[in-house]
């Protein structure tokens, strides 16, 4: 709410607002009719309307197709699944973090930072939080750990606009509801890797298929993959699909797709003799 009001204030260009206020103040021109229209115009401006643009974090151009709103809607929880889940989650948050949001990585100690950087996530705005406190999770402290996870997420919601996390298995449904409410209040986008457990996800980003290119039977190296991603879930009308080349982020057309699919069967590139 306070965010919306602040942004609206920013939104009113100083000169226009000033001009209108002058009109109102001037008794010569201030007829009741114009006053009413000015007030109506001002009222429209300061009304707490929910502007879709204000409630969204940007995503890179090639994944906008996955979202009917064209971006990551604040306060939502997305689950990333499938073979390219981690890369997909990084790809989704890259534009938002690059635009100045901070990313909290909670309980994902295996995050590959090189990959994050290649996908365009500025590493200087990543903070990792480990709720296991370095100890192994045992049957005895599992509930304590789940409670700590919820506390950490709630505290991180104040300072971070994007979160990437794994949900601990033992977290209870009531705790998770509190966490979700908190995320919604603070307008945080949370991406969940792995099993979300009792956490209700607003959308699921799934990797349907991926094809690697650049590597063969003993030659080459991994160069690129085409990933078919889909978005579905309770907040996603219908099912949206996109086919992407990672890590370069271009949308793949079907002919390129086929070329990549057959790349694996190709012979290694032969060296040609130079005379």
Partner 1 sequence: MDGPPMRMVTVWLPDWSAVAAGFRPEQLAAVMHANRVVARTAAAAAEGVVIGQRRRQAQRRCPDLVLADHDVARDAREFEPVVRAVAEFSPRLDVVEAGWVSLAARGPSRYFGGDAELSDVLLEAIGSAVGVTGTGVGGTGGPVGVGVADGRFASSAAARLSVRRGSPVLVEAGGSAAFCAPLPIGWLQTLGECDPEMIDLFIRLGLRRLGDLAALTASDVLGRFGHPGVHAHQLASGADHRLPSTTDPSPERRLDHVLDDPVAQAAAVVFVAKQLADELAQALSAEGRVCTRLVVQLETEHSERSERSWFRSAGLNAAAMVERVRWQLDAWINLPRGSDQEITGGIALIRLTPDEVRADVGSQLGLWGGQSEADRQAARSVARLAMLTSDEAVTVPVWNGGRLPADRYRWVPASMVDFDQRQRATSAAGTGSGPVGPWPGSLPSPSPATVFAEPHPVEVFDKAGQPVKVSGRGVVSAGPAQFRLLTGDEASGWRRGRLRQVAAWAGPWPIDERWWEPERHRRLARFQMVTDDQRSYLVIAEHRRWWISALYD
What residue ranges bind partner 1 (CB under 8 A)? 83-87, 90, 100-102, 109-118, 122-131, 133-134, 148, 151-152, 155-156, 158-161, 209-212, 215-225, 246-247, 264
Distances (CA, A) of 51 to 71, 73, 148: 13, 11, 34
Tell me the closest approach of the beta carbon of residue 74 to partner 1, in angstroms.
Answer: 13
Tell me the closest approach of the beta carbon of residue 254 to partner 1, in angstroms.
Answer: 18
Our CB check for partner 1 shows the closer of 70 and 82 to be: 82
Our CB check for partner 1 shows the closer of 54 and 209 to be: 209
Q: The tokens 């635009």 sit on which residue?
A: 99
Our CB check for partner 1 shows the closer of 30 and 132 to be: 132
- 211 pairs with which residues across the strands? 226
Our CB check for partner 1 shows the closer of 35 and 208 to be: 208
d(CA 186, CA 191): 15
Our CB check for partner 1 shows the closer of 76 and 225 to be: 225
Tell me the closest approach of the beta carbon of residue 88 to partner 1, in angstroms.
Answer: 9
Tell me the closest approach of the beta carbon of residue 33 to partner 1, in angstroms.
Answer: 41
Our CB check for partner 1 shows the closer of 42 and 129 to be: 129
Our CB check for partner 1 shows the closer of 13 and 109 to be: 109
Three-state DSSP state, 52: coil
Quick one: angle between helices 32-46 and 2-11, nearest 10?
130
CA 108 to chain centre: 16
Dihedral pair phi/psi, residue 228, rounded to 5°: -95, 115
Tell me the closest approach of the beta carbon of residue 101 to partner 1, in angstroms.
Answer: 6
Instruction: Note whether 89 and 189 are within 8 A (CB).
Output: no
Three-state DSSP state, 253: coil
- CA dihedral (72, 78, 83, 86) in degrees, to 10, reads 70
d(CA 118, CA 271): 30
Radius of gyration of the chain (CA): 24
Tell me the closest approach of the beta carbon of residue 126 to partner 1, in angstroms.
Answer: 6
CB atoms within 10 A of CB 247: 16
Tell me the closest approach of the beta carbon of residue 87 to partner 1, in angstroms.
Answer: 5
d(CA 154, CA 183): 7
């Amino acid at each position: 709410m306070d965010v919306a009001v602040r942004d609206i204030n920013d939104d009113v260009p100083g000169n226009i607002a000033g001009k209108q206020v002058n009109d109102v103040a001037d008794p010569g021109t201030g007829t009741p009719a114009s006053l009413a229209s000015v007030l109506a115009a001002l009222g429209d401006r300061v009304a707490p309307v929910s502007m879709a643009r204000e409630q969204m974090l940007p995503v890179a151009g090639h994944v906008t197709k996955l979202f009917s709103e064209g971006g990551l809607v604040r306060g939502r929880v997305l689950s990333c699944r499938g073979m390219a889940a981690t890369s997909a989650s990084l790809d989704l948050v890259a534009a938002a973090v690059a635009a100045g949001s901070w990313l909290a990585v909670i309980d994902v100690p295996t995050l590959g930072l090189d990959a994050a950087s290649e996908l365009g996530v500025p590493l200087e705005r990543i903070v990792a939080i480990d709720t296991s406190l370095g100890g192994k999770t045992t049957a005895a402290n599992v509930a304590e750990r789940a409670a700590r996870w919820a506390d950490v997420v709630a505290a991180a919601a104040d300072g971070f606009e994007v979160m990437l996390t794994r949900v601990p298995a033992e977290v209870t449904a009531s705790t998770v509801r509190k966490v979700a409410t908190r995320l919604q209040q603070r307008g945080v986008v949370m991406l969940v890797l792995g099993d979300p457990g009792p956490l209700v996800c607003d959308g699921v980003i799934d990797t349907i298929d991926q094809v690697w290119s650049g590597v063969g039977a003993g030659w080459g190296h991994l160069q690129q993959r085409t990933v078919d991603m889909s978005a579905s879930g309770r907040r996603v009308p219908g099912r949206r699909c996109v086919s992407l080349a990672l890590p370069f982020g271009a949308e793949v057309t079907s002919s390129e797709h086929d070329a990549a699919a057959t790349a694996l069967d190709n012979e290694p590139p032969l060296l040609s003799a130079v005379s």
